[in-house]
Amino acid sequence: MDTWHGFQTFATTPAPAPPAPGKPQRSIEERLAYHSAFVTVRTPAIDTLALTVRRLMLLGRHQRTTARPSLILTGPAATGKTTALLEVGRTCHLAHTRQHPPTPGQQPVVPVAYVLVPPGASAKTLTAGFARYLGIPVTARMTQAQLMQAVCHTYNTAGVRLVLIDEIHRLNPRTTTGAEAADLLKDLTERIGATFVYAGIDVTGTALFSGVRGAQLAARASLVETGALPARLGARRPFTDLVTDLEAALDLQRHQAGTLPRHAPYLHQRTAGRIGSLARLIREAALTAILDGTERITKTTLDAVRLDHQAETHPRPHSRGRVR
């Protein structure tokens, strides 16, 4: 994903879709593959991020003298940050391609870049990640200044308008290498004509927001927070709505619609409202239902799935007999 070819393939490959009415039934292997990939359900975080990014891109479109306004997507693990980041990147890529179809024989425009912050990132390894995305040659003899110049020139020439930087919590400005990497990001935002969006786990509680560097980042970046979906929000039930959408996307032959929403309180307790844990639970239960031939998800099926450690260490609801 963190190369142009990989991201372009992701953005242009049709997203998995539930079975269309009237179409021939898919094979077991096709349905296993479908539930392994599964659909991406629009969540409040995705909608908020998409709208905010669109505004910031318009706000900074003609800004030349200083860094464009940026955005930080933050929240606990398994709350959909990377999914939201990639969905917004896909939307931007497809919108730009529709508005500016590639011309045969001309250098393709690269509207979106996706970069992962490496563990223990230094300025040079982070710059190398930017270079890798666009296939910029990097040699051992290149100085940091030369590498930086090559990256900025190539990104501006390629027309990159949105830079997505994931795993930003890996940066630690309290170390020498981390401080250099943080300064590098500041320089890149000033030299590349793009809107920068960062994503990381609980970023506001890390060293990224401390000291002079943290103050600069906080002054330039808007904040969008992800979190566990509440069971209730006023008169609405956001978590149950998500469960309903996920159930509607299932491709099981004997599953009864409405089963999973009826178990929404159990699912909320089981996953603590985290989107990633919920999606994993339902996908694994669907795969089990196909493999064992039951073709439906029951409470028993859900109980048998072992989730991620974070979800499993939360108090698990007691089963009251065999509830289907």
Contact 208, 182 (CB under 8 A): yes
What are the tens digits of pLDDT across the range 136-168?
A: 999 888 999 999 999 999 999 999 999 999 999
Q: What is the mean pLDDT of the chain?
A: 90
pTM here is 0.89
Confidence of residue 323 (pLDDT cuts 50, 70, 90): very low
Report the C-alpha gap between 227 and 19 in whole angstroms: 30
Q: How confident is the model at residue 287 (pLDDT cuts 50, 70, 90)?
A: very high
Pick 324 or 273 by higher pLDDT.
Answer: 273
- Asked if 70 and 198 touch (Cβ cutoff 8 Å), the reply is yes
**Tokens read off for 56:** 């910031």
- Tell me how far apart the alpha carbons of residues 268 and 270 are, in angstroms, rounded to a whole number: 5
- 324 pLDDT exceeds 50? no
pLDDT digits (tens, 9 = 90+) for 43-93: 888 999 999 999 999 998 877 767 788 999 999 988 999 999 999 999 999
Which residue in the block uniquely carries the two structure tokens 């060293």? 207
Residue 314 has pLDDT above 80, yes or no: no
